[in-house]
Amino acid sequence: MEKSIYVSGTGVVTAEDGKALKWFEFLPDERGLEIATPCQVNGRLQLLRDSTVCFTAARKRIRNNTLLIRKAAHGRLSGTRDKAFQLTLKVFAAEGIDWQKAFVTEPIEVMTSLMGRERMREILSDELNRLNSGDYGE
């Protein structure tokens, strides 16, 4: 259960003329309250128009959840923390390349470098047979 404690005192604001807040210090009227333990937290401190101060702690940064397996010219193949594989490709229109061709050839290049030519040749042959037989939707 959260508990609010109100402390009276003086706030000292240091700022350059017309520039952002550089330093804020709160000086309580009563010393030695020991209601807060020293800590260092990223967040946002606001000095409001009515001279009250509001501090909001920043959200915890989400760390990278993937481990790079192989890079591609326009993306990467990664393993995720939840034991999955993730293929990411990103082609900018300004590059002026055939993005449809890149989306087919780059995964093939990445997988060939991982599995070897023979295994990749077998898989591609099976997929071409499925494509020719009409198993893929149009």
Alpha helices in the chain (DSSP H): 99-115, 117-133
Q: State the DSSP string of 4-26.
A: -----EEEEEEE-TTS-EEEEEE
Across 53-68, average pLDDT: 77
- Mean of pLDDT values over 66-72: 93
Q: Does the structure show a pLDDT above 70 at 27?
A: yes
Note if the pTM is more than 0.75: no
Average of pLDDT values for 48-68?
74
Phi and psi, residue 97, nearest 5°? -105, 165
- Determine the pLDDT at residue 50: 67
Reported as a pLDDT band with limits 50, 70 and 90, residue 98 is very high
Q: Which residues of 20-46 are buried (b: 16+ CB within 10 A; e: fewer)?
A: eeeeeeeeeeeeeeeeeeeeeeeeeee
User: How confident is the model at residue 33, as a pLDDT?
Assistant: 66
